[in-house]
Structure 1
């Protein structure tokens, strides 16, 4: 998939800059919305963990955590930062079954074309235990294509509802729009949703 390779190449080439830009972003409020759906000590997968910021926060809060990313260099940086092994894996190679209580996909699935994204979300649903929770976030809008050297599939309310209609067994729990947490990104909005495996 050429668009995915282009995006992975971007992160390989810009891993250190991306790590520095994102590792200290305050995401506590969004993590809390996700964790409110989980028991203490639940088993979480950080799917596309980037800098390892959220994987580390979950681990430090006492959760059992696995993390993976498609960029080998980001895996190395995140492993060092979070003090845990981060698995190098393309998103399309994920095949776990009924393993996780929660899956956190923060600004990661957005780099897949919609059809591939839908397939991967189906695999994530299969990887959740019954009643498990999936968090995902996307830039808000209708755009799909290459932007800033990476492939993006933007989401709005209608596309979120369409996705969860098309993925059997995943029910929309909550969706909300938030502003970008990075400094200097005023006006950039994000579509967030929580889906529950039924």
Structure 2
């Protein structure tokens, strides 16, 4: 999977870096608990081109990131000026917890079989009351496109999955249109949850 993003880095960065995700970021940030010392930590999990890591840093958050692709890690470090590591979700481990974890269009590359374990690892790295944002393409089941695995969700399946995890409060789930040019027919299923 990282091979696709390494090989298509220039195209991927050009088509995603300027996408306006402010509506989803605002919904997520509205439930991220602030730290008393002001150093509220956000992890950009599957950071891609670094678009959202930069937005969070500019807003004053303490941001760290990871991505499975070495090209995307380099793009995040260069564009957002935040620490970024190369890592897959299946291997995720961090030394400290976060007030928020942002997994925009990234968990969709994890298999259905591995998603519960991955979500549990992410939840273990959230403070109590910490927030997780995630998004999947609307659909059902798993598929492969351009050598990439996709796990698709509906609002119903994503909401039920997050409730079954047992780690979170009632999920806030909604649909949004793809904002990239030529992708008007694609719909995203988004969710924000808080660690109980």
TM-score class, shorter: over 0.9
Cα distance in 2 for partners of 1:171, 1:8 equals 32
> Over residues 106-131 of structure 1, what are the superposed CA-to-partner deviations in whole Å (9 max), with x where a residue is unaligned?
00000011111221011101110001
Question: What is the root-mean-square deviation in Å for CA atoms of aligned residues?
Answer: 1.5
Cα distance in 2 for partners of 1:88, 1:97 equals 15
The answer to whether the Cα contact below 8 Å between 1:98 and 1:130 also exists between their aligned partners in 2 is no
Cα distance in 1 for partners of 2:96, 2:85 equals 19
- 2:16 is matched with which residue? 22
Cα distance in 2 for partners of 1:173, 1:163 equals 10
> Over residues 26-76 of structure 1, what are the superposed CA-to-partner deviations in whole Å (9 max), with x where a residue is unaligned?
111111111111236421000000000000000010001111100011111
- 2:31 is matched with which residue? 37
TM-score for the superposition, normalised by structure 1: 0.92
Question: Aligned to 2:5, which of 1, 6, 11?
Answer: 11
The answer to whether the Cα contact below 8 Å between 1:97 and 1:126 also exists between their aligned partners in 2 is no
Hey, which bits of structure 1, 4+ residues long, moved more than 6 A?
none
- Greater shift, 96-105 or 42-51, is seen at 96-105
Cα distance in 1 for partners of 2:95, 2:113 equals 21
Note if 1:55 corresponds to 2:53: yes
Cα distance in 1 for partners of 2:16, 2:125 equals 27
Q: How far does residue 90 in structure 1 lie from its aligned partner after superposition?
A: 1.3
Question: Aligned to 2:147, which of 146, 149, 164?
Answer: 149
**Structure 1: stretches of 5+ with no match in the other structure:** 1-6
- 1:73 is matched with which residue? 71
Q: How far does residue 97 in structure 1 lie from its aligned partner after superposition?
A: 6.9
- 1:4 is matched with which residue? none
Q: For this pair of structures, how many residues does the alignment match? A: 192
Note if 1:93 corresponds to 2:87: no
TM-score for the superposition, normalised by structure 2: 0.93
Equivalent runs, 1:157-176 vs 2, <5 Å:
157-176=155-174
Note if 1:192 corresponds to 2:190: yes
The answer to whether the Cα contact below 8 Å between 2:40 and 2:99 also exists between their aligned partners in 1 is yes
Cα distance in 2 for partners of 1:169, 1:85 equals 27
